[in-house]
A and B are shown apart, each in its own frame.
Chain A
Amino acid sequence: EVQLVESGGGLVQPGGSLRLSCAASGFTFSDHYMDWVRQAPGKGLEWLARIKNKANSYTTDYAASVKGRFVISRDDSKNSLYLQMNSLKTEDTAVYYCGDLGSGIWGQGTMVTVSS
């Protein structure tokens, strides 16, 4: 069964940092491009970042809203995807999903709340 499980969400103060993890199973993780997407409460979907596979040099792309603050990375030996989030703002409060959007694979999401 194809599965993605996010972890690492929680409550953090404005200006703080958080690292999200995404554990993959049931498919050849190393072959896939992987993405992070978020959804603020009651709002739509916002793509954040993508990392390509080894064959494509692990190239990364970022949305303008998070470029310079968030860093996407992966460890194929651990079938894991990560999102390092720095300088967090209240507007970063959202459910964060990992996935391969082009293949239709999504995790269940992890909630991040940025509040004092």
Chain B
Amino acid sequence: QAVLTQPSSLSASPGASASLTCTLPSGINVGTYRIYWYQQKPGSPPQYLLRYKSDSDKQQGSGVPSRFSGSKDASANAGILLISGLQFEDEADYYCMIWNGSAWVFGGGTKVTVL
């Protein structure tokens, strides 16, 4: 059972924006953590998109378009992956991840459908 909670699916139209959430359990403050985001297409390994802790501590993966961006919603204790200008090629599974001090922890993944 994933400790990080992600919606199982999300559908959006081409050109729209999609906001994927990654909610941390209560008692774990999202502000403390770097949130990593990965994209995985069928039959392929996960591809690193970006990590985000704050506007001063963030990293975009090599070659990852700027329409993928990270942020946080402190009130929801969640990390957010925003995909702007959705394209058909963005159809994939998206996973969030944190290092909790002794282990990498993944979310259950969100399947993004572009239709």
Contact = CB atoms under 8 A, between A and B. Distances in A.
A104 B48 contact: yes
Contacts of A107: 45
Contacts of A101: 36, 97, 104
Contacts of A106: 45-48
Contacts of B47: 106
A84 interface: no
A45 B103 contact: no
Nearest to B107: A44
Given A44-B95, A101-B97, A61 B106 contact: no
Nearest to B104: A47
A32 to B, nearest CB: 14
Q: How large is the interface on B (under 10, 10 to 19, 20 to 34, 35 or more residues)?
A: 20 to 34
Contacts of B45: 97, 106-109
Interface in B53-85: 61-62
A84 to B, nearest CB: 19
A50 interface: yes
A35 B105 CA distance: 12
A44 B2 contact: yes
B112 to A, nearest CB: 15
Interface in A33-57: 35, 37, 44-47, 50
Given A101-B97, A102-B99, A47 B106 contact: yes
A63 interface: yes
A50 B102 CA distance: 9
A45 B106 contact: yes
26 contacts: A35-B104, A37-B104, A44-B95, A44-B106, A44-B108, A45-B46, A45-B106, A45-B109, A47-B105, A50-B103, A50-B104, A61-B102, A97-B45, A97-B46, A101-B97, A101-B104, A102-B36, A104-B38, A104-B48, A105-B48, A106-B45, A106-B46, A106-B48, A107-B45, A108-B45, A109-B45
Interface of B: 2, 36, 38, 45-48, 61-62, 95, 97, 99, 102-109
Given A61-B102, A109-B45, 5 more contacts: A44-B106, A45-B95, A102-B99, A104-B48, A108-B45
